[in-house]
Structure 1
Amino acid sequence: MTVAFLQHELGDGGALALRDLTTAAPMHRLTAANLDRLRHWEDWAIPDLQDGATRAYTRIQLAAFAEGRALPLAILQGGALVGSLGARIDLQRESAELGYWIDEGFEGRGLVTRGVRAVVRHLAEERGIRRFEIRTAVHNERSRAVAERTGFALEGVLTGAFRVGAERYDAALYGLVV
């Protein structure tokens, strides 16, 4: 297995780096700082998010990475952690589902867009992935814009697919075949 994403430059001081246990505490702090905003779209963005949960999630993602089932990445700007980008990989189906979020202060700088392009290119070239999906809340316009800028096509809307707290939201399903 190729491990090209221990660090990958995105230009303009941006980079992707493999998440590991050294990123767990900074990722927890960043997530906590963005919880109010993330709760509008993410079921995992719960009010009592514990530091131990972030470490446990990181361990799970690293195990999945070792098995070729995940690519858990940190988005960096100037060496500081500013977001997350990951892929859940299904090698049998040659497919991957991408997910991402970034600190509010770093939105609009192209980091997520460049990161998505880099991950698609890497997984297609190094892992033979041919189909990519992004699922995002219909009302998450910024996330939808990333999917559209990176060449994903809207394939449909999944009614009530996201549960966030007591609410259910429709999900926009974007696909890309390379």
Structure 2
Amino acid sequence: MALLTHDLGDGYDLALRDMTMVEAMYALTVANIDRLRLWEPWAQEEPTREATSAFMAAGLRSLADGSEVPCAIRCQGEPVGSISLRIRSFTAVGEIGYWIDAAHEGRGVVTRATRALVDHAFDDLGLVRVELHTATHNARSRGVAERLGFIREGTMRAAHPVGGERHDMELYSLLPSDRG
């Protein structure tokens, strides 16, 4: 995967998130906040430009120190989602997290973006394991993991706080030898 952009087909690509995307990512978050609140602790607060800017800046610092590959999923050059590979270098393990605008769901875009980050993790970064953690009741997210051959390792009970609840999370992993 090229570090700056990666073609996902059908007018979609993966690009490193940078400060030029703050306004577009803020607007995208606002448009999807009600959906995101179902799954994400960070989405419980009202989104602000300042928080989006701080998030983007933190992602760039993490990129610089090698602990994250923060990307935007784009359609025709405009952000339509977010995907990141968080890296635990001391164990050579990465974790992928993602979300996409409702209008772009069901097109295989998140699956293709995840595959690109998995390939980057194994082929370019030398990671030995990539994980996905997804809410047990998030069928779409679980489907991404399963389509890509991730192995379900089990349920992490009450592992993810969302609003006033705690969600059970499914732990999926992929090793280089699992790729087909």
TM-score, with structure 1 as normaliser: 0.96
Does the Cα contact within 8 Å between 2:134 and 2:142 map onto a contact in 1? yes
Q: Which residue of 2 aligns with 1:128?
A: 126
Task: Give the deviation of 1:47 after TM superposition.
Answer: 4.1
Distance 1:28 1:140 in 2: 24
The percentage of aligned residue pairs carrying the same residue is 48
Structure 2, unaligned stretches of length 5 or more? none
In structure 1, runs of 5+ residues without a counterpart are none
- The answer as to whether partners of 2:154 and 2:170 remain within 8 angstroms in 1 is yes
The structure 1 segments of at least 4 consecutive aligned residues displaced by more than 4 Å after TM superposition are none
C-alpha distance in 1, partners of 2:108/2:21? 22
SS in structure 1 opposite 2:24? helix
TM-score, scaled relative to structure 2? 0.95
Deviations 1:45-96 (A, max 9, x none): 1241211011001111100101111000000112221000101011221110
Aligned residues: 176
Shift of 1:36: 0.5
User: What RMSD, in angstroms, separates the aligned Cα atoms of the two structures?
Assistant: 1.1
Q: Secondary structure at the match of 1:163?
A: strand
Q: Give me the whole-angstrom Cα distance separating, in 2, the residues matched to 1:131 and 1:27.
A: 29
Distance 1:48 1:13 in 2: 31
Counterpart contact for 2:121–2:130, Cα < 8 Å = no
Match of 2:159 among 155, 158, 161: 161
